Amino acid sequence: MTSSTETSAGTDKGTAIKAQYKKFIGRKIMFILFSLFLIFITAGIAAAIGTYPIPITDVYSIIWHCLFQDPETTEEIVVWNLRMPRILMAIFAGMGLAIAGTMMQAILRNPLASPFTLGIASSAAFGAVIAICLGTGIVTGAYLIIGNAFVFALIPAFVIIGLTRYKRATPETMILAGIAMMYIFTALAQLINYFAESDAVREAYFWMVGSLSRASWDELVVHVTLGDTTIPLPGPVPTVFIICVIPLIWKSWDLNVMGVGDERAKSLGVNVERTRVFILITASLLTAGIVCFTGTIGFVGLVVPHICRMIIGGDNRFLIPAAGLFGGAFLLICDIVARTIIAPVILPVGIVTAMIGGPFLFFLLIKRRKEYW
């Protein structure tokens, strides 16, 4: 009789645990769907507002129409040629920076890790400043600034990898090395700006704080002609995003295992050092592929992962896509604010991300009643 009672109690407990697990999974999926819906709504608002306002009800039909044929009317030209590249760049940049920040925080197990604090954004800015103020760089021509920013953005990653391989650096040492490089490259960029001409300093400043004003279809779509047929293919930004995000999501289970400690992860068959280096390189490539077009947009890679982790927890299988989608919506909202807060003047979006993200994260930390990290 006692055995039967214990069996029944165990079954009821197992059923309750399964129900609770399904509830948690449902909450994560709902947040992902909410973030996707938020992108859809904010993209329509961003395409509707501006010096030439367009009813939001017409925006979606215009976008659908222009997917299949060239824009013809003034409204279609404004929405498709002028506003859509900026909107898509904001979405891709926000998603990429948020995912890169999520991965860096996971592999280093440090809440301060982000593309900005690891020195990647600062080194990209230094490369761009060299190209703008000195007119020299790794490549020449139209891609001088972009090429310099991309190459220099990879330097912190390789320095940290070198520390990992030859000095057996701990995660704490790696993030301290990133912060040190952030200050070094920022100081070097400011030194060059100090002696540069005023016009060059102004252009370098806007690049250093991050802006979406130069977004164009050339960075998002490439048209390849085969005979009489022109085929649209993903441009450099979507290509880098796809190539980097897929393997990062693939490594999400290894990240979950590494969260309990390196020794336990090794006992479960995870090559901790190789996984950490692979994720760091991939996340750095993702960051470099974005900031070389947008400039150093800070705070997205730091704030968004924390917000999503507070809401849905630290399961990277769900956290990575959730942070990506919410990061795209977050940067798009910040860009709307940058365009409208003192219109017709458009603020650099990097300033707005810090102004909104910092107080918002501080508010969440105060309101949070239990530990999330």
Two tokens at 84?
Answer: 């859509």
Locate the DSSP E strands across 103-251: 221-226, 229-234
d(CA 145, CA 152): 11
Measured between alpha carbons, how far is residue 138 from residues 135, 151, 300, 358 in Å?
Answer: 11, 8, 28, 35
Quote the pLDDT of residue 14. Answer: 60
pLDDT band at 22 (very low <50, low <70, confident <90, very high): confident
For the chain, domains (ranges, CATH) are: 22-367 (1.10.3470.10)
d(CA 192, CA 125): 12
Residue 210, strand partner residues = none
Quote the pLDDT of residue 370. Answer: 62
Quote the pLDDT of residue 347. Answer: 87
Question: Does 6 have pLDDT greater than 60?
Answer: no
Two tokens at 178?
Answer: 């990133």
Share of residues in the chain with pLDDT > 90 (%): 27
Quote the pLDDT of residue 111. Answer: 82
pTM over 0.95: no
Quote the pLDDT of residue 369. Answer: 58
pLDDT band at 313 (very low <50, low <70, confident <90, very high): confident
- Reply yes or no: is the peptide bond before residue 344 cis, omega within 30 of 0: yes
pLDDT mean over 161-178:
79
pLDDT band at 91 (very low <50, low <70, confident <90, very high): very high
pLDDT mean over 11-15:
63
Quote the pLDDT of residue 13. Answer: 61
pLDDT band at 43 (very low <50, low <70, confident <90, very high): very high
Name the nearest CA neighbour of 320 among 96, 93, 25, 36. Answer: 96
d(CA 136, CA 341): 36
Q: What is the pLDDT of residues 188-229, one digit of tens each?
A: 988 998 888 888 888 888 778 888 888 889 889 888 877 777
* Least confidently predicted of 97-106, 140-149, 269-278: 140-149
Cβ atoms within 10 Å of 129's Cβ, excluding its own: 29
Maximum Cα–Cα distance across the chain:
90
Higher-pLDDT residue of 141 and 179 is 179
Question: Does 341 have pLDDT greater than 60?
Answer: yes
Question: Does 144 have pLDDT greater than 70?
Answer: yes
